[in-house]
Structure 1
C-alpha cells in the first residue's frame, strides 16, 4: 500500500548559504530547488552525531550555474560538477560508521548524462558499438580530438572511399600545401608566385622554381665565319638565366686561311665586359680545336631574353669557319 514520506524543501538562491540538517529530524526526503547563477557557495551538511546506516535522500531539481562566478555546491562533503549542478538527480548519503558515502544517480532525462567524466577509460570498445551506430549527426563539432584517438587507430580500411571530402578539412592557408615541419608537426607551407616546395632532409621550404636548375649545365652552339663579307659580323646569343660561363670551345669546320690568325671576341652586352678572346691560328685545318675557360659569372640582370652575349670575328685575310660550343653552369 502507498505510504507517506516526510519531505522538506531546500530552496537555493543565488546568494547560496549553509544548510545544516539535524540527524535526529524525521524528514526522509529533501527536495533541492532553485534556478540561479550562483554568486556564493552552497554547503549542505549534517548536524549532530549520526548512527551507522543513517541515510539522507535528496531529490535535486535545481538548475544552478556555478561556472560563471566559480562557485561550488557541496552536499555531505561531495562537490557537484558544473554539469550536475544544472541537472536533475537523486543523491543518497549514507553513514558508514566513519564517514558519509554519497551516491549521485543522474536522471536519464538529462541530455548530457553520457559525458566524458561519466565514462571510464577504455569502457567503450569496438565490440560495444553496433555497425553504423555512430553517424555524423551523432558527433558534436570538434568532439573527436587527437587525444581521443590511439596511434594508428584510423587506418585506410576504416575510411570509406571518398569519405574525407574538402568540407571535412580545416581551412588551409591560401595557396599552400600541407607538410610536416622539422619537428614532424603538420603545418601549412605557403607557395608564392613561381614557388615550389623543396626538401632539405630536415624540413620543406618554398623556393623559386628556377632554383631546381641550379648547378645544372647547358650548352649553346653556333657557327661563326671568317669568310669574305662575313668577317667582323656580330652574332648575338641570349642567355635568359644566371650562370657561370664555364668553358668555350671552337672547332674548325672549314680550314682557316693563311697569312694571319683569326680572333673571336665574346662580350657581355649588358656590362660591355669581354668574357674571352679566342685565337684560331692561321692555316688551321679541319678538326682543329681551341678552348677557353673564362669562369665568367654572367647575370641576367635585365630579365628573361633581355640579357645577351655577342661574338665578333676578326681576320685580315678572309677564309674559314668554326663551330662554337659554350658550356654554362646555372647559378
Structure 2
C-alpha cells in the first residue's frame, strides 16, 4: 500500500498491510539530534527514512516575526509587561473586562489575504510526495483564540455571565478563519487530502469547560469549520490535547473523521478505554509522549506499540500523543516507535 492508501484505509477502518503512522511536527530544537541520528538533513528525508504516511502542509502565512498561522491573531495587551511575540492564554487580552458586543470592531482585525502566501503554497505542495496523505495544518483555534482575546479566566467568566459578548468574539474569530481557510482551500483545490483543525478542550484529568457550554458556544464554530473543509472533499482531523472523552462523539457527529492526539495518560484517553467505549471511532496518536517516549527504553516502546496494534488493527494512525516532537524525546525512541509499527 502507498502511504495515502494506508491512511484512507485506516479512516474507513479497512484492513491495512501495517498500521498507518505519523511523526507529527518536531519543534526546531528537536531537529539537530534527529538529523544527526538518522543521518538526514531535512524533515522530508527524515519522514521518508521513518516511512510514516502523513505529509503536513503548513499554511505559508507571512505575519513576521511569527510566520505562523497559529499566531495569526494577537490579542495580548502590550502595555501589560509583555510583548506580542506569541499567542498567550494567560496574559490579559484585548477584550478583557468588556461586556458590550458593539466594541467588537475596535480590534484591528487583520485581513488574511495580506499574509497568506499563495506562491509559497504552490511551492510547498510541489515539494510533497504524491503518494503521501497530504494534510493541511490549519489549526483555526477559534476557542483558544477567544480565550486569548480576553485572557483565559476572564474568557470563561464572560462565557457564563455575558454570553453575548463571548459569542460576538468567538463568532468574529470563526469568520476570520473561514475566510483564511477558504482562500487556502481554493489555492490547493484537489491537491490536499485532509486538514487538521483544533482547540485544546481538556486538562490532564477532565474537560476545561462543561460539555454543554462547549456545545452551545464553541461547537457551532467548529461545525462551520468542519463543513467548510468537507465541502472541498477533505478529510478532517480534529486536534485536542487532554481528557476529552465526553465530547469525542460530538466531534464525530460534526463530521470529524479522526480525533487527535488521544493523549495517552489523560483520564479515560488510553487506547484500551477508547477501543472499549467509542464505537468505530478513528484516532491518531496513542503513544504516550509525556512519560513513555521521554523516559522509556526502546524495548518498552516496542512492547507498547505492539499492544496498541492489537487493539487497533485499523482505525488508528499511530503517532506520539502530542503533535510536537520535543527535544526530550531521544531519537532511539522515535526509531523504536516506527520500527515496531512495521514488525
TM-score (norm 1): 0.21
The one of the two structures with greater contact order (alpha-carbon pairs below 8 A, sep at least 6) is: 2
Bigger fraction of residues in helix:
2
Which structure has the greater CA radius of gyration? 1
